Structure 1
Amino acid sequence: MSQIMDHGYHSHSHGNSAHSHSHISSQEAVKLYDPKKLANKGVRITWIGFCVNFVMAVAKLIGGVVFHSQSLVADSVHSFSDLISDVLTLSTVKYTTKKPNESYPLGYGKVETFGSLMVSAILLYAGLEIGFGSLFSIIGPYLSTATAKVMHALPFHDHSAGLDDLGSSAVADSLQTADINAAWLALGSIIAKEWLFRATKKVGEEMNSKVLIANAWHHRVDSMTSVVAMVTISAGYFLNIYWMDSVGGLIVALLVTRVGISGFFQSFKELIDKAMPRDDRRYMDIEDAINVHLMNMDRNILIKQLDVMPSGTNMNVVLKLGVSEFNNKYENQLTLNKMGSIAEVLRGTIIKDFHNVKNMSVQFISNDEVEEIPEDNRKENEIREKSMELKKEHKERRRRRIEMYTA
């Protein structure tokens, strides 16, 4: 039987990931979004960016409806998604930073994860709704009334294109070219985003803040959807091509849908406690730190298994320790006090070194304990072993070539 010393059970990105909308952690949010610290240049430019983005998102939404531009409406949805994600993170800071207790031993990180799941679901629906509407605006004039009725019965259909009338009014709305004023709004958004990029980047460089510099580039990347909207609106207006704006709306809607799908599945995986991949930088940092501490405490103790589960901005860590299978003699010398001391020190130092690690489970397992390796882990280990063998073969061939040329 294995001897187990259990010392608690511990557990995010924008992440990580394509275009991520959860791009501020709890610690960073407290510093950069604290309204009481507006005297700080970093806090001030962050709030300016938030307010400018809010004004532009509202303006693009109203302008998109008034000027009949689907690409501008889609762009506004994309802008609102960033704002909602930031508000979500800020509103859950007081929960995610709480310490675990008897009622919630894993902490409150899943509050943010659940919120992210809801935001991603809304994004996904909005992207499909706008994308479907844009698609209908392109192909609507070529559809029969019967086909239009079938499309109207689907859960995602265009309300603005006149599908409820299904007759000539739907075709007429589909053939309507977006007003050129919508392009001016898109251009204003591009200029505002570029100014935010330069101003935020300047402050970030002055303060040597990687977070502010990352936010600056986030402003520039977000302006790309406004560029798509401006180009398609202008082209449709000047070339009198009614479907150009719809093409822009479809492109932006696909981007929004992609972000929604990515965020939804990432949040869902966190909710069901999917372990972090081993090539994740956070995983490797924790693994390296544990190995360093083990080397200092007892070189005979090895990591048998390490699982890191994201939970919002927090992390749960499950660590299993043991000795080498070739060192069974030392395993018999381990006492409960020795194992308990190592577990307690490891747990304390890791939680101290990594502020996002709120809870950690440390267990000792015996070499006599036979654990069934999950199929996914077995395949992963096989791939890793084959990769290591190929690298060894490559090094060996290289060594032989060097010896041949130097002989």
Structure 2
Amino acid sequence: MAISKGFGGWYFHSQALIADAMHALTDLVSDFMTLATVSWALKPPTKMFPNGFGKVESLGSLGVSSLLLFGGLAMGLNSVEVLYTQFTGETMKIAKERKSSVLASNAVHHRIDSLTAMVALISISLSNILQGASWLDPVGGLLVSLMVIRAGWSNSRAALFELADMGIDDEMCYEIKKVAENTLKAERLAGVKPGVAGKVKSVGGIKSGQNFLVDITVALEEATVTLEDMARIEGMLREQVGEGVRGVRKVRVKFIEEGKEEVSEFVERGEEDLESESGSEAGHSHENGGECKHGEKKKEK
């Protein structure tokens, strides 16, 4: 498909088709990268990589989106150059010479391919129907590149956030908390003392490839809770959350006493270090260890 579009763009001097061909070529390369990284990311955890290989998928996502991003920039630059030449005295000459038709086939498994093919079809058709409108074809190529750049930037941004261990979103936190609370509720209904069953204090975690590594904090009221009680609760939460929430690969449970604040896991630094970093880290707090605000969805920028 990429070769056909590329040949059609070269033969008919169509920048929109050339842009679409470059996009189809990047799709082919990204498919191979995706297959390689996904198969690697699904390997079981090892002693050297206890959290698994999910970040390999994040790296693959960054590579694919970067390929898409730079490919779109290259297409856009080429279209801008051709568009510039259209307004330097050669517009009518190119309009008379251009006899182009669009190749309607496109890669069906990529979400923006249908849009790029549609833009190519409209721009090439208008450039042939309207007299002196041959400049519409490179405009179509520019629009294609902008859509590719937008998709590439969006994927790159998501991959970078994931590689930086950004906390899981509030919707996922809410789903995990709901399953955990139902699990503890069932434990209380089974006849266990309420203080031993505990309550969900907070939920957090990170995403690693297709996997979610979850942290659950449980508050216990009973002061005489045994290690056996905590081990039982931890096992139930791990089992129920793992089965009830799609994608959860690891569940870590932390216990605190009811009524007391959760202690930060971050190592405290000296006053000099804090003063030197106060300017660059103003307004950012890590006291909750990535705790999510349940019931609230983040607004996309």
* TM-score between the two structures when normalised by the length of structure 1: 0.57
- How far the C-alpha of 1:355 sits from its partner, in A, is 5.9
CA distance in 2, matches of 1:176, 1:244: 12
Instruction: Quote the residue 2:238 is aligned against.
Output: 347
Give me the whole-angstrom Cα distance separating, in 1, the residues matched to 2:50 and 2:92: 56
- Alignment of 1:135 onto 2:80: yes
Q: Separation in 2 of the partners of 1:383 and 1:350?
A: 18
Cα distance, 1:88–1:287 mapped onto 2, change above 3 Å:
farther
Measured after TM superposition, the shift of residue 274 of structure 1 is: 0.5
Write the mapping of 1:327-406 to structure 2, written as runs, cut at 5 A.
330-354=221-245, 356-366=247-257, 367-369=259-261, 371=263, 374=285
Residue 228 (str. 1) matches residue 119 (str. 2): yes
In 2 relative to 1, CA 349–102 (structure 1 residues): closer, same or farther, beyond 3 Å? farther
Match of 2:182 in 1: 292
Note the 1:45-194 alignment, pairs <5 A. 56-140=1-85, 176-177=94-95, 179-181=98-100, 183-185=101-103, 187=104, 189=105
1-structure distance, mates of 2:202, 2:148: 38
Distance across 2 between alignment mates of 1:234 and 1:176? 15
- Paired with 1:382 and 1:136, the residues of 2 have a C-alpha distance of 50
2:208 corresponding residue in structure 1:
311
Q: Does 2:255 align with 1:255?
A: no
The superposition leaves residues 190-234 of structure 1 with CA deviations (integer Å, 9 ceiling, x where unpaired) of 6xx7xx7xxxxxxxxxxxxxxxxxx6xx67x63222111011112
Instruction: State the Cα distance separating 1:89 from its structure 2 match.
Output: 3.3
Q: Which structure is richer in relative contact order (CA contacts within 8 A, separation 6 or more)?
A: 1
1:78/1:285 CA distance change after superposition, 3 Å: farther
* Structure 2 CA distance for partners of 1:284 and 1:76, relative to 1, 3 Å: farther
Structure 2 unpaired stretches of 5+: 189-193, 265-283, 297-301
TM-score normalised to structure 2 length:
0.75
CA contact (8 A) 1:107 1:358 kept: no
Whether the 8 Å CA contact 1:127–1:256 is kept in 2: the answer is: yes
SS at match of 1:276: coil
Measure, in 2, the Cα distance between the counterparts of 1:283 and 1:80. 38
Q: 1:288 to 1:382 in 2, by over 3 A?
A: closer
Per-residue deviation at 1:322?
Answer: 1.1
Question: Which structure 1 segments of 5+ residues have no match?
Answer: 1-55, 144-170, 197-214, 324-329, 385-407
Higher helix share: 1
Query: What letter is aligned with 2:140?
Result: G
1:295 Cα offset (Å): 1.1
Work out whether residues 218 and 255 of structure 2, in 8 Å CA contact, stay in contact via their aligned partners in 1.
Answer: yes
Report percent identity of matched pairs: 32
SS in 2 for 1:322: strand
Give the counterpart letter for 2:234 in structure 1: A
- How far residue 111 of structure 1 moved from its aligned partner, in angstroms, is 0.9
Paired residues of 1:130 and 1:253 also in contact (CA < 8 A): yes
Within the candidate set 322, 329, 339, 2:219 is matched to 322
Residue pair 1:137, 1:174 contacting (<8 A) in 2 also:
no
Counterpart contact for 1:99–1:358, Cα < 8 Å: no
Asked if 1 retains the 8 angstrom alpha-carbon contact of 2:201 and 2:217, the reply is: yes
The 5 A counterparts of 1:257-296 are 257-279=149-171, 282-296=172-186
> Distance between the aligned counterparts of 2:295 and 2:244, measured in 1?
32
